[in-house]
Amino acid sequence: MNLEKQLDKYAELAVKVGINLKEKEGLLLSGNEAALPLARKIMAKAYEAGAKHVEFQFRDDQMSIIRYLNGKEYVFENVPQFKIDSLEAMYKENYHQLFVMAPDPELLKEIDGELIAKDQKTQSLAVAPVMKYRMTGITKWSIVAVPSDAWSKSVFPDLPLEEATEKLWEKIFEATRVDQEDPVKAWQDHNANLRKYKDFLNEKDFEKLTFKAPGTDLEVHLADRHYWMGGSKDSQAGDAYVANIPTEEVFTTPHQLKVNGTLKATKPLSLNGKLVDDFGFTFKDGKVVDFYAEKGYDVLEKLMSNDEGAKYLGEVALVPDDSPISNTGILFNNTLFDENASCHFALGRAYSYAMRDGSEATQEELTERGANYSLIHVDFMVGGPELEIIGYEKDGREVQIFTKGNWAF
């Protein structure tokens, strides 16, 4: 594998498809030490595309640990206002945001869960006023990922580190279509395919969906005037961008108060540097009234204590079991990839753009139509080869949407 050549293609994909950066737009780029080789190439591609400025924010995992181990209690009770002001100023000045992840799935496993939850809530409250820029399509944003040592070893624990890293690179390039001769063209074709499913679901305008699989028997009503999204999104300026690379999902907004039944996760969840595994939920009138987890029960418990909306669903996403990421045959231990190998739901906030005219609506109007609001948005996977999904039209007519884990049409 020629890693340098593949990184060039990956960087071009991130700039041209992920952000779709235009001349005289700014780019806010972030990553840790492992992200630097790709981040440098992204910076070069961004300036070639006409960026007015690229601002790089360095985030170090070990510094994060130091902060948790040495910070006084008040460190986790507020966020410096200049950080929020700076972010909003960049959004207002037509900067768009690209995250280069190099995750460690269990980075914070030794850190007290109460402290992590407190910090997460503080951070979420602080950035809530500026999240409107990304949630409404004013700011284009995207996430890509590169291997860290810890991530490589978590996915391929039996391989030496160098081999594990190379293997993970191969799987990332396969999942993101970078291994194809022209990744940008491949993504254009992929977007067109996702649009076919999106258009079908929007035309049907289903009243509700039912999900059945081992451990899952769930009825999900959809929010009033919900809207199915998939692949690229359009910014308010009319530019198509892809928030997640990779993405295989078509998703929309469930009705906050009309979800009932049981739901079992089919893949582990890496959350705040800790793993949650073998878990599931019981919903009544939209709310989680019971849940279990063989591993990471306390992580879920703290997640859902963030606010009242954290106990309700904000997204339902359909992903075929026969997809490039699923077909890699591995568990990535990273939500960016694993959620695109499987149908999934999200606890927490609904995306306003997954509602008709949602970007122009107030939060009160969205809530009235059934869209959940929360400080969090956390995806978990429920798909697999045994999943059956039926859609119900408003006249009661049934339409098979998924059978044996894949699209039925």
Say if residue 35 is in the same domain as residue 77.
yes
Domain-embedded: residue 235: no
Domain-embedded: residue 186: no
**CATH code assigned at 61:** 3.40.1830.10
Mark which of 128, 158, 175 sits at the end of a domain: 175
Say if residue 226 is in the same domain as residue 133.
no
Domain-embedded: residue 260: yes
Mark which of 154, 175, 196 sits at the end of a domain: 175
Return contacts of 286-289, CB within 8 angstroms, 24+ apart.
286/255, 286/256, 286/257, 286/258, 286/259, 286/260, 286/312, 286/313, 286/372, 287/311, 287/312, 288/312, 288/347
Distance CA 86, CA 90 (A): 6
SS3 letters across 24-39? CCEEEEEECHHHHHHH
Tens of pLDDT, residues 343-368: 999 999 998 889 999 878 899 999 99
What the block records as the tokens of 231 is: 């692949």
Say if residue 88 is in the same domain as residue 217.
no
Say if residue 258 is in the same domain as residue 136.
no
Distance CA 286, CA 367 (A): 13
Say if residue 323 is in the same domain as residue 219.
yes
Q: What is the pTM of this model?
A: 0.84
Query: Comparing C-alpha atoms, which of 364, 340, 343 is closest to residue 352?
Result: 364
Domain-embedded: residue 185: no
Domain-embedded: residue 28: yes
What is the model's pLDDT at position 400? 97
Domain-embedded: residue 198: no
Give the count of domains, the chain. 2
Distance CA 59, CA 72 (A): 20
Query: In angstroms, how far is CA 172 from the centroid of its own chain?
Result: 16
Say if residue 163 is in the same domain as residue 16.
yes
What is the model's pLDDT at position 291? 98
Structural domain boundaries, residue 92: 3-175
Tens of pLDDT, residues 334-343: 888 988 888 9
What is the model's pLDDT at position 333? 85
Say if residue 80 is in the same domain as residue 214.
no
For 212, list phi and psi in degrees, rounded to 5.
Answer: -135, 130
What the block records as the tokens of 262 is: 């049981």
**Cα angle 91-335-408, degrees, rounded to a multiple of 5:** 110
Domain-embedded: residue 243: no
What is the model's pLDDT at position 375? 87
Is 329 exposed, middle or buried (CB count within 10 Å of its CB: 0-12, 13-18, 19+)? exposed
